[in-house]
Structure 1
């Protein structure tokens, strides 16, 4: 990882960090004296927009929490006095959050902070490519606001904060996002994957067309063949670019050196080890026990129902992984995937214990509230998707780039579009049927999962879970496949349709009369 932010970019990030934490009423244009006026450097401001993406997307507490803790992939159990946090994690998993929920509020504010920053740069005469990148990043953030909240506030460049942000809803918001991405796609560069590129734009458009029916009707979406054919055409363009291939090891895509070895990655957020990063270290710190290395906070787990979807030989379930900035692991212990059973110090191979002195052996069993002091530190399978950066973890500036889009997601979306009525095509070496597309992923040596005999929508849904777990697509997938309202393990048996979208935070309702609270909240 080579890129270092300029001082101007850092200033932009600091300005944005302040703007993102206040109510949307104030997330508009800054006075020229504050922003640098007409002398602002568009390149530095654009770097600041990229850095602003870290707050909502990296770590485990904002978009990640809304997209994963609400699903069958992740549980945040209360462990005695630990991880209670006034019940916010239980509320997410059991689908009983409200418009004052901390994670709901912070994700909304910081996603709209990205929208603000990406819009504001457009009044400083950026180059054609800089403007295209900013508009793509704005569209990406708007897409997530739409997906989670169904209402997307916006202002045009230069509009004052005294003017309330207007709001696009549902398919109107989606149509604007699609038009923006299409308008800039040809101007975007081909590389690098840590910037807005043509293929990142195509991937976002695929998400838009695949989910158009969801944004029209969350409870009973319909999937038009024309939309599915758009998904397939866009997938073929990405595949035929020849820029992406399966990584040597599945976990290369998430490792500290994934800038260089994550050959499946299409759109990432750049982290620079020892220099600058977001909080992506949460993905190992949150799950690791206090006595593990790196030490963690002993919180979240995977659920056994989800773990059981994997075959025993599936590398994605877990493997011994040697990597740059990793441990010496002299005992060749499993160190990535789903950690279950006895755990070891990965530099000395000493068997670990919990703080009671009992063997640190993670169990399949876990409850949303753990009360047994003798076992509560050890319950639950721990999902280690991002291999820890042992070199930079303590400094808090890690080298693992955060991954938004990968080649297998493109292939699986294409397979789904065919199953939903699109016309099959051939691109690359992956075949032209849903079964061939899915098995091209499963049978690659980087997965070793074995071929499936058949693929229908239910099988595809499960495969998306196995391939993309903890990549923030699970809630969206569950809604599209009609699975989100339950039942899920340790969650609600049946949730109300209200919870298919999140509420607009009450703080935002109070300052913008153009926002209307979502039904049921």
Structure 2
């Protein structure tokens, strides 16, 4: 039985990487003759685990959602973080169809879709089937968002055959139908598994972004889609199950799957037992070598984005229990002189004060500045209790209640109901100790989305929907409309069902 379970898990994992010889062999060994309904729980759990690679941490889908935007950048620091210009290409919108990050994310997200699809041939229970179909829809939504066309297979279909491909309108119609069909069979009791409310939120995102997915250069918003966003939001709001938390960063802290009323859908990590090891990169990739934990001194935000926050806004961050007292590291934005747990000033590797500066260039050459250039970001409070194992207790946050409120606000604003929209935005701002707005327009709302969801992998989608993604911003010139979509990776184009996106 142990060997059989290992084979099942290998079979699921093999699907994540696309069609390989290993996959074909395993499909022949443990296909319909070796896997049955008794194995569905293991396969479903393996699909949840498969979500970790593309989604948990800063090197997968998050990287494609953040680095091409105004809120994140990876400067080249002397010889560090050059990587043949791959990071610079993301921020400057200069990627091509052979970009390794774009390829790997496409492959890993598609793997989740195929793994979820595979479950459906083994007679799952209604709840198991609904969860698998949601996970497939979740992954397909990301592919639609990033690439505008979505490959798919039917359950049990021969993996050596080229997958068919849905274009945007067909995929949108499919996702809406699929989620409406499975919603009633989804669980209701856990935030670290998919749920009925998670399905409502994904439907809200589809309806809100539908016009942008169909016309990225000039998004339009149909009243019926906006009204559906409002209707779904009201169902979640009126359930009374969720509320904005008093401590913003608790939503991302260890044990956040159980300790907050705001999270609606998270990816489970169990401290010391089972966790996405890539979660550690949420702080390692941004902290300096001489901080605790020792970082790789890479990722930063930009001063123009940081300056969107007023001083009273708790989302800017500060000291955090169990973090600052252990290491001196604060949560939120790290700017200025950094200290250890005793309040003693830290230095960089050359002995200069470790004082992070708002000033940063996409290529840093000054040896006395390159290690401290750029404001650093700690969105997930560090789990020191489990740090030695890299098996952390911070769940990855997919959906929060504030997103429900602000999606409803955006829909109402686009429907011309700015007064009610303003009240919802101020509900969030007041909880975050920010000054209430006296008016609301699209520019103010887009900035508020940035403040509320910074470094959560939202920004690219929001900028496209608001018509700002091609604009000039800090360390990036205005860019070509082709960049509204990522290119289909070169190694996928052997499938004649794909059409390479325009401009590539």
Q: Same fold (TM over 0.5)?
A: yes
Deviation at 1:394, TM superposition (A): 2.7
1:370 matched to 2:364: yes
> CA offsets, 1:191-212, max 9 Å, x none?
2011110000000000000011
1:303 matched to 2:302: yes
Check conservation: 1:28, 1:116, Cα contact below 8 A: no
Change (3 A) 1:8 1:24: closer
Superposition map of 1:140-151 within 5 A = 140-151=138-149
User: 2 CA distance for matches of 1:11 and 1:393?
Assistant: 31
- Count residues with an aligned counterpart: 500
1:20 aligned partner: 16
Check conservation: 1:252, 1:262, Cα contact below 8 A: yes
Superposition map of 1:45-64 within 5 A = 45-64=43-62
Deviation at 1:305, TM superposition (A): 0.3
> CA offsets, 1:280-311, max 9 Å, x none?
22111100001101111000110000000000
1:437 aligned partner: 424
Segments of 5+ residues of structure 1 without an aligned counterpart are 1-5, 425-431
- Give 3-state SS (helix, strand or coil) of 2:154's partner: coil
Check conservation: 1:335, 1:384, Cα contact below 8 A: yes
- Give 3-state SS (helix, strand or coil) of 2:49's partner: helix
Check conservation: 1:24, 1:508, Cα contact below 8 A: no
Check conservation: 1:283, 1:386, Cα contact below 8 A: yes
User: 1 CA distance for matches of 2:197 and 2:37?
Assistant: 32
2:287 aligned partner: 288
- Give 3-state SS (helix, strand or coil) of 1:281's partner: helix
Superposition map of 1:59-74 within 5 A = 59-74=57-72
1:169 aligned partner: 167
Deviation at 1:11, TM superposition (A): 5.9
* TM norm structure 2: 0.95
Tell me the C-alpha RMSD between the 2 structures: 2.0
User: 1 CA distance for matches of 2:153 and 2:393?
Assistant: 35
Segments of 5+ residues of structure 2 without an aligned counterpart are none
> CA offsets, 1:385-439, max 9 Å, x none?
1111112223211111000110111100000001111768xxxxxxx71111011
> CA offsets, 1:88-117, max 9 Å, x none?
100000001011111100111011100111
Deviates more, 1:8-17 or 1:196-205: 8-17
1:490 matched to 2:480: no
Superposition map of 1:120-519 within 5 A = 120-278=118-276, 279-323=278-322, 326-329=323-326, 335-346=330-341, 348-421=342-415, 433-444=420-431, 447-491=432-476, 493-510=477-494, 512-519=495-502
1:38 aligned partner: 36
Higher helix share: 2
Change (3 A) 1:433 1:378: same
Change (3 A) 1:9 1:343: farther
Check conservation: 1:329, 1:349, Cα contact below 8 A: no
Change (3 A) 1:37 1:14: closer
Deviates more, 1:381-390 or 1:29-38: 29-38
